[in-house]
Amino acid sequence: MLHIVNKSPYERNALESCLRLALPGAALLLIEDGVYAATRGNVAEPRLREAMQRMDIYALRPDLEARGMAGRVIQGVKLVDYDGFVDLVCERPNCQSWL
């Protein structure tokens, strides 16, 4: 399963719920305002680091760049462009957007 989260962890509980309901081995892609969760020192960093032990975590580079956050990414978060987003969708058997 590819989980897609597009909301800042300060605004919504989407990331928190996603991590609660993601099985080990799943992938998480942070897009739009969701990319703030991938930056150093943000409120979700401890949860994200813990989740990294059991799942692959990605963030959409164009969304990080647009927000001036490209240089602040937590080590271990993999950056992808839109074609990487497409690959993730195709590689995983299913996907879910946490709207």
| Residue ranges binding other proteins (CB under 8 A) | 1, 4, 6, 13-14, 17, 20-23, 26, 31-33, 62, 81-83, 85-87, 89-90, 94-99
Contact predicate 49/73, CB 8 Å: no
Contact predicate 42/72, CB 8 Å: no
Select 11 or 40, whichever has its Cβ closest to other proteins.
11
Contact predicate 98/5, CB 8 Å: yes
What 8-state DSSP symbol labels residue 93?
S
Select 77 or 88, whichever has its Cβ closest to other proteins.
88
Q: How far is the CB of 25 from other proteins (least distance, A)?
A: 9
Q: How far is the CB of 45 from other proteins (least distance, A)?
A: 22
Q: How far is the CB of 75 from other proteins (least distance, A)?
A: 26
Alpha carbon 82 to its chain centroid, in Å, reads 14
Determine the 3-state secondary structure of 51 from DSSP.
helix
